[in-house]
Amino acid sequence: MEELQGRWHDLDRLLLRPGNLVGPGFEPCAELRDLLQNDCKVLVIGAGGLGCELLKDLALSGFGNIDVIDMDTIDVSNLNRQFLFRIHDVGKPKAQVAADRIMQRVKGVMVTAHFCRIEEKDVDFYRQFQIIMLGLDSLEARSYINSVVCSFLEYEPDGGLDYSTIKPMVDGGTEGFKGHARVILPGVTPCFQCTLWLFPPQITFPLCTLAETPRSPAHCIEYVHLIQWGQDRVGEKFDSDSPEHMKWIFEQAVKRATQFCISGVTYSLTQGVVKNIIPAIASTNAIVSAVCALEALKIATMCSKGMDNYMMYVGTQGVYTHTVSYEKDPNCIMCSPGVPIEVDCSCTLQECIDTLLNDQRFKAKLSRPSVSFQGTNLYMQAPPILEELTRPNLRLSLLSLMGGNPSGGVLNINDKKLHGVLRVRVSFSKEMDTT
Amino acid sequence: MEAETDSLTEQETAVYDRQIRVWGVEAQKRLSKSRVLVVGITGVVAEVCKNIVLAGIGKLTLLDDKPLSEEAVASNFLIPFFSTEDEGCCSIASICAEALRDFNPMVHVFVEEGNVIEKPGSFFDDYDAVIVGRSSLGLRKHVNLMCRNRSRRVAFYTVDCRGSSGAVFVDLQKYAYSSQKGNAEIWQEKHFPNLEEALSVPWSSISKKTSKLFFAMRIIEEFEQCEGRVPGQISCEDLPALMALRKKMCESQAVGDSMVPESVLKRLADAGNAELPPVCAIIGGILGQEVVKAMSCKGEPLKNHFFFTASDGKGVIEDISPSQ
């Protein structure tokens, strides 16, 4: 195995397992294999197109303890790429079938399945893994995991990162011939929040276009789906899995299209638009997942230079890959040491909380925030006994609560609405109150 | 290979829905009629087979008489783990065939016995594409010529994964294909050199920016041939001899030794016959898609080499053809 090189030197303090740290003079082959086999726990989120490939690649690469989580059951349209599933598996939980098949094929690997939503697992579930692999198909799911993993980060008061709290994530995504693989080391490389702008905006058609001036078959379909259904089938909740509902949408969409002299409404397109179907093929998933698995291998064994940090793959014309080194947002609300806010020296804790609730950057993410500073609870919304105990602090000066240090410091904000923690770096404006 | 007017079955339409949305019904129909021969099954070849079977080719024939062994299983996902009593009981091809039929019952998977060198020319008439895995240069050249001597074009591919690197070679002869340019579908043509021609291009006329893996693999190939080794049967102990051969070959090709860095040769020597599973999956994904494109006559083909190395994560296409 090649020696640790380049950019990741500073991560050699990364603890991959609690307790023993493999020393620099080790004999590469045997101990590394043991580490992968016994000490490294990996979580694969998603047992679909990427998940099946990830499980295979990780198991064959020597990882011995893999957990997989997926809330879906198997559909016939999965079979063109999710090769761990067979026609007679349709309807069964993906995570369970995938785990069983991998264990059948690869000697010695332990794969534990979780058939549930990722939100149903508490934060400590995710804490037990050394590496988290993402084979997801939505932005929301990625954001959720991102906030959980970023909440594990611990910063020193001076903003220095405790590297042992970094939990690496490797994320893959595909659509048709295109895909990406990226390595996220929260606090070091950009997290999802830092690069939210990378995701293309979801296509939504303006209502006036749908209602008055449709031009494409998709416009006709969406009109029937979003507007006409509610008018003609009052009180009925639309179910995209119901063949009758889909057939109705299709037939009405055809009528509308004919009315506007638009061609191209097919049943297949109707399903695609209404269900937001992502076209998918086996080979793109195979490539992207394998790139992700390679990165996991490098992270676990430090055997080679890691990806820095985002690779995109395009297979439409020939083969094209491009790797970009994105930078994190120093003021990221998820992974930075603290999002800057400025308050008056005389500001009370209550006023500070009010400032946060009115700040555009986080008001949607907060409802009833609790505040702590360097491990001390300044104000807790719950349980009632703590709330009562800390309520007097609300009237006190924030500056005094933060140790009287005029250069400010970092507050940790917790809230039911947040999946993680919001770190806020408070600075006090120079003007002193005259009273 | 013309697309017939009969339509896809209901099961095909249901299972292939997501990919039909990518390449269309006509391409899927052509795919369903295609017949592919695979010679020599290693980990990367198993990955290619998985991808083309899932895509729904018509027929896949596996030709590999090697018996089952622990070595063969290490990076081949198609072979479940087995006990040592089973070792040597049946051929790699038959076990892989069983697994592939399971992945997609709509594909006809066959096992062919014997040595491909002994097959007559007419044998290759039954195929639209032939993929040759790790093998001697002699065997690859032989099969390539057989493919070219048929009245209908038989697409020819080779693939080999050595440790954390790998390479693909493509020969589609004179190939016409359709591709998307904006909203229009246009037809284009590419001319491919055969394997002999591609490997005869003088090194001095090849750009210095070309992947070093191309040259390194030529040296390994030459070494294995001269020493009478089974391809892959090398180790770090052979490095001094490989370096001496490098000097000799670079001299005769009138290029500097720096064309083939020692580190690249060392990595290949150290790898021996091992294949890193994720690298097999990447190269298998790339080649799988090439075969799908050629069988459906849709999409720009890769011309004519592809190289991948895990150490820098780079996958590159190199066109190494004789100048017209």
Count of helix runs (H) and strand runs (E) in chain A: 14, 13
Residue A28, pLDDT score? 43
Nearest CB to A279 within list B18, B105, B311: B18
Looking at the structure, do residues B244 and B97 belong to the same domain, yes or no?
no
B63: closest CA of chain A, how far (Å) = 22
**pLDDT in the model for residue A431:** 61
- B288 and A107 within 8 Å at the Cβ level: the answer is no
Q: How distant is the Cα of B9 from the closest Cα of chain A, in angstroms?
A: 14
Residues 2-61 of B with CB under 8 A from A: 14-23, 47, 50-51, 54-56
The CATH class of A339-428 is: alpha beta
B70 plus B95 within the same structural domain: yes
CB B178 within 8 A of CB B297: yes
- Does residue B247 sit in the same domain as residue B145? no
What pLDDT sits at residue B84? Answer: 57
Longest dimension (CA), chain B: 61
Nearest chain A residue to B315 by CA: give it.
Answer: A321
Number of domains chain B contains: 2
CATH number at B112 reads 3.40.50.720
Same domain? B62 vs B177 = yes
Cα separation, A128 vs A114, in Å, equals 15
- Same-domain check for residues B161 and B283: yes
Q: Pseudo-torsion of CA B127, B128, B134, B137, nearest 10°? A: 90
Q: Is A355 helix (H, G, I), strand (E, B) or coil?
A: helix
Write the DSSP symbol of residue A37: I
Q: Which of residues 290-309 of B touch A (CB under 8 A)?
A: 292, 299-302, 306
B286 contact A CB<8A: yes
Spell out a b/e string for B200-233, using b for 16 or more CB atoms within 10 Å of the CB, else e.
Answer: eeebeebeeebbbbbbbbbbbbbbbeeeeeebbe
Residues, chain A: 435
Which residue on chain B is closest to A293 by alpha carbon? B278
Q: What is the pLDDT of residues B187-236, one digit of tens each?
A: 889 999 999 999 999 999 999 999 999 999 999 999 999 999 999 999 98
**Which domain does B63 fall in, by range?**
34-197+275-318
Q: What is the mean pLDDT of chain B?
A: 92
Residues in chain A closer than 8 A to B286 (CB atoms): 283, 287, 315, 319
Percent of residues, chain B, with pLDDT higher than 70? 96
C-alpha distance across the termini of chain A, in Å: 67
What is this model's ipTM?
Answer: 0.90
CA nearest B270 in A: which residue?
Answer: A1
Which residues of A are less than 8 Å from B299 in CB distance? 316-317
Q: The CATH number of A2-199+280-324 is which of 3.40.50.720, 1.10.150.120, 3.30.420.240, 3.20.20.480?
A: 3.40.50.720
Architecture of domain A207-274: Orthogonal Bundle (1.10)
Element containing residue A347 per DSSP (H, E): none
Amino acid letter, residue A145: I
Q: CA B36 to CA B102: how far, in whole Å?
A: 18
Q: Are residues B116 and B223 in the same domain?
A: no
Q: Start-end ranges of CATH 3.40.50.720 in chain A? A: 2-199+280-324
Q: Tell me whether residues A76 and B15 touch, CB distance under 8 A.
A: yes
Q: Looking at the structure, do residues B87 and B184 belong to the same domain, yes or no?
A: yes
Distances (CA, A) of A404 to A106, A331, A346, A430: 60, 24, 11, 14
Shared-domain flag, residues B66 and B171: yes
Q: Is the pLDDT of residue B46 over 60?
A: yes
Measured over the CA atoms of residue A137, residue A141, residue A145 and residue A150, the dihedral's sign is: positive
Do residue B63 and residue B151 come from a single domain? yes
Q: Where are the alpha helices (DSSP H) in A199-337?
A: 207-211, 217-223, 229-232, 243-259, 267-275, 282-301
Locate A411 and state its tokens: 């507050």
Cα–Cα distance measured from residue A143 to residue A146, given in angstroms and rounded to the nearest whole number: 5
Test A81 with B306 for CB contact under 8 angstroms: no
* Contact assignment for A81 to B286 by CB distance below 8 Å: no
Helix (H) or strand (E) holding B139: helix B137-148
* Across B65-79, average pLDDT: 83
Q: Could you tell me the pLDDT band of residue B75, with boundaries at 50, 70 and 90?
A: confident
Of the partner residues A2, A77, A282, the one whose CB lies closest to the CB of residue B51: A282
The residues of A that are catalytic are: 208
- Using alpha carbons, select from A130, A144, A119, A110 the residue that is nearest to residue A69: A119
Taking the CA of residue B88 and the nearest CA in chain A, the distance in Å comes to: 18
Query: What are φ and ψ of residue B186, in 5° steps?
Result: -120, 155
Same domain, B40 and B104: yes
Looking up tokens 């105990």 gives: A389
Q: Are residues B242 and B160 in the same domain?
A: no
B310 part of contact set with chain A, CB < 8 Å: yes
Q: Residue B181 pLDDT > 80, yes or no?
A: no
Among B281, B306, B311, the residue with its CB nearest the CB of A286 is B281
Kindly state the tokens that stand for A54.
Answer: 């990830």
For residue A176, the chain B residues in CB contact (below 8 A) are 21-22
- Nearest Cα of chain B lies from the Cα of A99 at a distance, in angstroms, of 14
Give mean pLDDT in consecutive 10-residue pieces for chain A, a chain of 435 residues. 29 30 39 81 97 96 95 96 97 98 92 97 95 93 94 87 93 94 94 87 81 92 94 92 94 95 94 91 95 92 78 80 89 91 92 92 88 92 93 93 89 88 89 53
Within a domain: B252: yes
Question: Residue B48 is encoded by which pair of tokens?
Answer: 């290619």
Please say whether the dihedral angle defined by the alpha carbons of residues B221, B225, B227 and B232, taken in this order, is positive or negative: positive
State how far the Cα of B55 lies from the Cα of A79, in Å rounded to an integer: 10
Neighbours of A159 (CB within 10 A): 13
The answer to the question of residue B205 being in a domain is no
Asked whether the beta carbons of residue A316 and residue B55 sit closer than 8 angstroms, the reply is no
Cβ contact B179–A293 (<8 Å): no
Do residues A56 and A102 touch, judged by C-beta distance below 8 A?
yes
Q: Is B277 an interface residue toward A (CB < 8 Å)?
A: yes
Boundaries of CATH 1.10.10.520 in chain A? Answer: 207-274
List where CATH 3.10.290.20 sits in chain A: 339-428
The CA distance from B270 to B309, in Å, is 14
Residue B131 has pLDDT above 50, yes or no: yes
Q: Are B136 and B231 in contact (CB under 8 A)?
A: yes
Pair B225, B279 in one domain: no
Among partner residues B19, B179, B284, which is closest to A286 by beta-carbon distance?
Answer: B284
Q: Shortest CB distance from A315 goes to which of B54, B289, B310? A: B289
Q: B 77-136 residues with CB below 8 A of A?
A: 77, 80-81, 102-105
Output the pLDDT for position A209.
85
How many cross-chain Cβ pairs, A to B, lie less than 8 Å apart? 150
Q: Is B253 on the interface with A (CB under 8 A)?
A: no
Condensed to tens digits (0 to 9), the pLDDT of residues A189-222 reads 999 999 988 877 777 888 888 888 899 999 999 9
